[in-house]
């Protein structure tokens, strides 16, 4: 292949493609390969536009168009094959292995360096939790430092309508707060009522325990809780030997 300053040809691109496909390692290519490919495609595009204006169905126009497609396709495949090899090189280097970088072009050296840095950083972060903290830049004196505004306390409007379930629980809680809970020193047998729950009720706290009631539950509850549920249509009292059914 000719020196870097010579124009690239279709044969040159094909030769690079064949050698790169046959080798598991990077092959040596001209240092300005990618720039030369772009220049070659630009020339083909200009020639194609000229021929298309004169006769879009001429053999020359069709030939140039076909060559342009083949060059673009092979150039993409060359890049992908070399990029895969560069990735493996960076992976080995991040593990401490020695790799040869003489066959990299200028653009590929930048890609190799970025990949190596990314792999090394993630290796330390994921395996050893070692992170490199970037320094926070100090504001320039030319620009004033904006002071943080004090947080404004949000006032909650108690008058906003709340969901019905929350109101039921809060009402029951309010009723329960008025009941004196007996201390351990003065045990009191609390009157209890058997009720059937008519609908699911959100969990709420009673004097001695929390309650989770579901529709069709039949449960023995402290009288203050049972009466609160019955009065609000959330439950009905169940007839027992000592009580009459209240509807």
Q: In 3-state terms, what secondary structure has residue 243?
A: strand
Q: Tell me whether the CATH fold assigned to 10-128 matches the one assigned to 164-237.
A: no
Res 89 pLDDT > 60? yes
Q: List the CATH code of the domain at 10-128.
A: 1.20.58.1030
* Domain covering 164-237, topology: Ribosomal Protein L9; domain 1 (3.40.5)
Q: Which residues of 196-220 are buried (b: 16+ CB within 10 A; e: fewer)?
A: ebbeebeebebeeeebebeeebebe
**Could you tell me the pLDDT band of residue 132, with boundaries at 50, 70 and 90?**
low
**Could you tell me the pLDDT band of residue 1, with boundaries at 50, 70 and 90?**
very low
The DSSP H or E segment spanning 88 is helix 59-94
The residues, any chain, with a CB within 8 Å of residue 105's CB and separated by 6 or more, are: 29, 31, 32, 33, 34
Give the pLDDT confidence of 21-36 residue by residue, as tens digits.
999 999 999 999 999 9
pTM: 0.51
Res 18 pLDDT > 60? yes
The DSSP H or E segment spanning 224 is helix 223-231
Q: Quote the pLDDT of residue 245.
A: 41
Domain boundaries, the chain: 10-128, 164-237
**What is d(CA 236, CA 230) in angstroms, rounded to the nearest whole number?**
5
Q: In terms of C-beta density within 10 A (0-12 exposed, 13-18 middle, 19 or more buried), how is residue 92 classed?
A: middle
Q: Quote the pLDDT of residue 24.
A: 94
- Report which of residues 122 and 184 the model is more confident about: 122
Which whole number is the average pLDDT over 51-79?
93
Give the pLDDT confidence of 161-218 residue by residue, as tens digits.
444 544 555 556 555 555 444 443 333 445 788 888 899 888 876 667 778 888 888 8
């Amino acid at each position: 292949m000719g020196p870097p300053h010579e124009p690239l040809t279709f044969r040159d691109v094909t030769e690079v493609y064949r050698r790169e496909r046959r080798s598991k390692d990077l092959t040596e290519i001209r240092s300005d390969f990618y720039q030369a490919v772009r220049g070659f495609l630009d020339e083909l595009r200009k020639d194609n536009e000229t021929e298309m204006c004169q006769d879009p169905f001429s053999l020359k126009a069709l030939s140039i168009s076909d060559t342009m497609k083949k060059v673009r396709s092979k150039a993409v495949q060359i890049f992908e094959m070399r990029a895969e090899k560069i990735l493996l090189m960076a992976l080995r280097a991040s593990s401490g292995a020695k790799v040869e970088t003489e066959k990299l072009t200028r653009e590929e050296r930048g890609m190799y360096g970025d990949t190596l840095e990314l792999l090394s950083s993630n290796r330390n972060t994921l395996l050893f939790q070692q992170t490199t903290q970037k320094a926070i830049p100090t504001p320039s004196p030319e620009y004033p430092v904006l002071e943080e505004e004090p947080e404004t306390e949000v006032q909650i409007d108690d008058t906003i309508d709340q969901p019905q379930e929350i109101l039921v629980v809060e009402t029951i809680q309010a009723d329960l707060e008025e009941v004196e809970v007996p201390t351990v020193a003065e045990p009191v047998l609390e009157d209890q009522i058997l009720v059937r729950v008519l609908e699911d009720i959100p969990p709420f706290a009673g004097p001695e325990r929390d309650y989770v009631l579901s529709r069709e539950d039949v449960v023995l509850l402290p009288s203050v809780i049972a009466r609160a549920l019955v009065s609000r249509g959330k439950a009905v009292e169940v007839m027992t030997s000592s009580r009459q059914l209240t509807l």
